[in-house]
Structure 1
Amino acid sequence: MQQVNCSISSQLTDAFPVCIASSAVMGLSFVLGVPGNLSVLRTLVQRLKENNFTIRLMLSLAISDLLNLLPLPMWIWALLHDWIFGSVSCKIISYIEYWCVYCSALCVTLMSVQRYMQVLHPQKWAKLGTRGENGLLCGIWILSGVLASYAPVQRDVGCDQYGFQYCYQHFKNKTEQVATLAFEVLLFVATFFLLVLFYFSLYKGVNESPFFSSNRTTKLVTRIVVAFLTFFILIPIANVLFIIAVLLNNQHMSKTADLSGVMARALAFLNSCVNPFLYTFSLRGQQRSNPVMESS
């Protein structure tokens, strides 16, 4: 196990409250999210025999959220003490975390595309068939793994600016740091744009059709957009602050962005708690209300 000698900085006073708050949020996410996702997983597995793509998509989402939550006790310990689990564990857990976050985001995005196509263009979607749908699910996991491939390369154990031994991103230079942060911001913007675009198009198409009721669709769109924006918006904001701080070589702004990033990542774990319930119960209620909108 890698040993790193770190000395606690006098700046710890500013960081400790953020570490405490982030640990509390992570603890809540773990306590509520793990059993919640396991319960949803059991329900979804029992419904796999329905050969319903929405069920398989939500199952994939629940698995990625569960895998994202399981290492939380290690992150909590590291925030309050030191990272004592070694460099290899740091790289593996970081890769799984990034992989699951990207997979979750792509699952949510594909769900918006799927609902749009099945409701407004059902014949085109039907041409995919079960094999095509399974190909999309596999493609999500593969693409997420590729997008997350930079995580184990950059993540390693070292001394952060507060003197803690921690598992964090190490950059060779400012160019690499700016490029990585900009990449993550662009991914968020693209995901959120597609999410809003397809659900807005769905709502507009349903609202203009005499065969559909838009009430539940409106609620579903609102919940999805608000939840995604609420839990993830701080991450790109912190990244943008980091980029500006790096370009301006502003240490104070860099410190602010760093603490914001810690809290933002903690809040993002809450999304893994609400995701399965949000989509499962919203779509279940939508199906009961509008049988014609059921997934094939």
Structure 2
Amino acid sequence: MTRDANIQAQERFGAAVNSGKLDEFNDVVAAGCVDHDPAPGQGPGPQGFKDLFTDLRSSFPDLHLEVEHLTATDNDVAFAYTVTGTHQGPLMGHPPTGRAINIRGMQIGRFENGKLVERWGSSDQPGHAHPTRTDPAAMKIIRALATGAAAGAAGTTALNTLTYLDMVWRARPASSTPEATVKKLADVTGVKIPGNDEERTNRLAGLGPLTGLVVGIGVGAALGFTREAGYRPGLLGSSLAAAAGALIGGNGPMTVLGITDPRTWSPVDWASDIIPHLAYGIVTGAALHALDPAASRPR
């Protein structure tokens, strides 16, 4: 057979893969065809190829083989290719993930009488397995939590900055309520803070501000999660939700433990607490929108 006939046979093979008309393999693959690099579980001859691509098309209904470069001699056809598809059905025991694959590879086929008699191939197997490694829904949640945490960290920086500026402006000392809250919480839960008196005092001095960081980042992460779950308020709504969450998360434990009583606060006390939390809300809300690609999509 001629070089052109071999190329035509290879093209019919590729068309069968793309169309799903796999009986075409009977005309272009020899009964005794030897695949030197078979897929896992692939049988011999035309039936082996039919079974393989039947399974693949079941897993990837939009499976498509694109030949990028082909060269041929009187007996051999070699080509580079890319296989694409979307994982919509079970694959080797793995449930569908909805993820796309993009597999690149090369193949050499030897032909006799217009039929494939030997095949050698190499492909990007890690790319083939990629859709089954990670649950995309879990990755979306992780990404949403990380995005929210980053937004919360930005908001916490704004809150701390205004708090420190207020200390400078009014020459007031740092609040001791975070440390007192940690100490009271440790007493209530029976958790012992290790060290002598001085060491415990120093540890409390560090743990107090850390609780603020945990609240700020935690509120941001929670808002990131709710956005992924479908609650996507506008910038104002996000900012108010963040500010309210930080106020409740920060002042709630102090109030419940009896460290402070907001009913006794002066107007100045309220202002020094609310203004930094509003700054937290504005920055956190803005960061959530800036880091969320869906927020900028037309609705």
What TM-score do you get using the length of structure 1 for normalisation? 0.27
**Which structure has greater strand proportion?**
2
**Which structure has greater helix proportion?**
1
Which protein shows a greater Rg? 2
What TM-score do you get using the length of structure 2 for normalisation? 0.27
Tell which has more relative contact order, 1 or 2 (C-alpha 8 A, sep 6+).
1
